[in-house]
Structure 1
Amino acid sequence: MPSVSAVPPSPPSSRDLVVAALRTAGCVFAEDEAELILTTARTPAEAAEMVERRAAGLPLEHVVGWAEFRGLRIAVAPGVFVPRRRTEFLVEQALERAARTGVVVDLCCGSGAVGAALAAALGPVELHAADIDPTAVRCARGNIAAVGGQAHQGDLFEALPPTLRGRVGILAANVPYVPSDEIGLLPQEARDHEPLVALDGGTDGLDVLRRVAAEAPRWLAPGGSVLMETSRRQAPTAVAALERHGLETRLGVSQELYAHVVTGVRP
């Protein structure tokens, strides 16, 4: 009988190699991340560099340069807070209040994802985004330029044009709300590669939220709403902070996204 030669195993594909490298680095969703890197990279060398940066611990969004948010591709520069999927619930809550909104403000805007998503859903609006971090402001400016949005740098309301006082229909503020002594419990990606100012909310996590609650009534139009993301544990205190300044409140909860959004409406 003729001898049968063993068929040599096929060499691993580039995808297999990327998956293996990411899995070795501890990436739980190595297959999905490999697909994203390989479809984003323009050359094999760029893909290899992306894998190396991801294996070193950089957030995937910083590696590929963008994050998906409500179906939009939002550019995310290194050092900028990465928009979370749970924050899509903040946008949904805002849209429920936005039937006649002409002016939208994205405060503590980071990449500008919330403002971009609101403008995409609402159509033509006057959109302003603001952040204290100049890197975030540059990133947001690029993300909201297509919808005619303006980005401003400064500390909360100090960054906004005074002409917006009393005119804002939707004030979405994705404020930092992690208590200071819990920052060390965050995933390493956040601790090492996102700005502390976008994470640290002070002793109980609500320092910035209280500042926004105190100033918001002066900027909202009659019937306008301020919306802020918080945690389940902090929600009752956050609601009380809004009520203290004469706002009518509601608490929205998404069990699916584990998201809590407090809304205050100017009567």
Structure 2
Amino acid sequence: MPPLSPSSPPSPATRDAVVATLRAAGCVFAEDEAELILATARTPDGIAALVDRRAAGLPLELVLGWAEFRGLRITVEPGVFVPRRRTEFLVEQALAQVPDASVVVDLCCGSGAVGAALARALGPVELHAADVDAAAVRCARRNVEGRVHQGDLFTALPDGLRGRIDILAANVPYVPTDEVGLLPAEARDHEPRTALDGGTDGLDVLRRVAAGATGWLAPGGCVLVETSERQAPAALEAFSAGGLTARLAVSEELYANVVVGVRQ
């Protein structure tokens, strides 16, 4: 996946018109969004089409067709979870824990952003990504230079990975079922519920990952999941119950909480 590259600046008149339209539609960061739209569309008709879609409420990443993640331009499509900037912290924690990883799995991969970012940072690795959703798998295959599998968590993975995984990144859904309706409309209306809904307390999928990870990890390998501050104590408990040495990493800047479990 190529890194983002600069483009030629648009004319001030065009930029001002786009900013005005976006601001009128309620876009808080109209100036920043205008720059991205103008860098993506190369013709007046193309610019107008993207501005109209954004003004109608479509998430910016789906308007552009990509999301920035750790300096990469990740292709995103309707019906696929859009990678969050806070998840970059999960990638950083994985690299810090196993800086010489050679086998990497991106579980619940969505667009494949985490796997793509890890592979870019690590260099040549054996990379696998997996998701239960067919749309996510199609999208990930456009972003990941590795094997992408469809299936439910570990059942999607080749059996030959057992005991070999150095980094298992699992960006599991962790929103409690009763709170999905409280999410911002851009997530609630445009992303698959399976990528958001984590069950009654939000930890159903996390517990399944924690229970099964040890058998797939190499000695010293780690599994990482993102969770909320409120859920962190229960998440740590689940990792410990799964036989993992668990710790919580927090980024106040990115509002990110990542549980790291290591197989000893």
Interval containing the TM-score (normalised by the shorter chain):
over 0.9
TM-score, structure 1 length as denominator?
A: 0.93
SS at match of 2:254: coil
- The one-letter code matched in structure 2 to 1:235 is A
**How big is each residue's C-alpha offset from its partner over 1:38-67, in whole Å with a ceiling of 9 and x where there is no partner?**
110021111111111111111101101111
In structure 2, what is the Cα distance between the partners aligned to 1:20 and 1:133? 38
Percent identity between matched residues is 75
In structure 1, what is the Cα distance between the partners aligned to 2:205 and 2:192? 15
In structure 2, what is the Cα distance between the partners aligned to 1:261 and 1:192? 26
In the alignment, which residue of structure 2 is the partner of 1:194?
191
In structure 1, what is the Cα distance between the partners aligned to 2:125 and 2:239? 25
In the alignment, which residue of structure 1 is the partner of 2:17?
17
Greater shift, 221-230 or 17-26, is seen at 17-26
Q: CA deviation at 1:99?
A: 2.9
Q: CA deviation at 1:214?
A: 0.7
In the alignment, which residue of structure 2 is the partner of 1:225?
222
In the alignment, which residue of structure 1 is the partner of 2:51?
51
SS at match of 1:128: strand
- The one-letter code matched in structure 1 to 2:68 is E
In structure 2, what is the Cα distance between the partners aligned to 1:52 and 1:247? 49
Does the 8 Å contact 2:228/2:256 carry over to 1? yes
In structure 2, what is the Cα distance between the partners aligned to 1:13 and 1:141? 39
The partner residue of 2:256 within 241, 244, 259 is 259
In structure 1, what is the Cα distance between the partners aligned to 2:47 and 2:191? 23
Does residue 38 of structure 1 match 2:38?
yes
- The one-letter code matched in structure 2 to 1:231 is S
In structure 2, what is the Cα distance between the partners aligned to 1:72 and 1:95? 17
* Larger CA Rg, structure 1 vs 2: 1
Aligned residues: 253
Q: CA deviation at 1:13?
A: 2.1
In the alignment, which residue of structure 1 is the partner of 2:72?
72
Does residue 181 of structure 1 match 2:165?
no
Q: Which runs of 5+ in 1 are unaligned?
A: 1-11
In the alignment, which residue of structure 2 is the partner of 1:63?
63
Q: Which runs of 4+ in 1 moved over 4 A?
A: none
In structure 1, what is the Cα distance between the partners aligned to 2:27 and 2:108? 29
- RMSD over aligned CA atoms reads 1.0
Q: CA deviation at 1:207?
A: 0.5
In structure 1, what is the Cα distance between the partners aligned to 2:84 and 2:19? 24
In the alignment, which residue of structure 2 is the partner of 1:129?
129
SS at match of 2:210: helix
Q: Which runs of 5+ in 2 are unaligned?
A: 1-11
In the alignment, which residue of structure 2 is the partner of 1:163?
160
In the alignment, which residue of structure 2 is the partner of 1:238?
235
In structure 2, what is the Cα distance between the partners aligned to 1:79 and 1:134? 10
- The one-letter code matched in structure 2 to 1:63 is V
In structure 2, what is the Cα distance between the partners aligned to 1:44 and 1:78? 24
TM-score, structure 2 length as denominator?
A: 0.94
- The one-letter code matched in structure 2 to 1:219 is W
- The one-letter code matched in structure 2 to 1:98 is V
In the alignment, which residue of structure 2 is the partner of 1:247?
244
In structure 2, what is the Cα distance between the partners aligned to 1:75 and 1:98? 27
In structure 1, what is the Cα distance between the partners aligned to 2:51 and 2:214? 47
SS at match of 1:151: strand
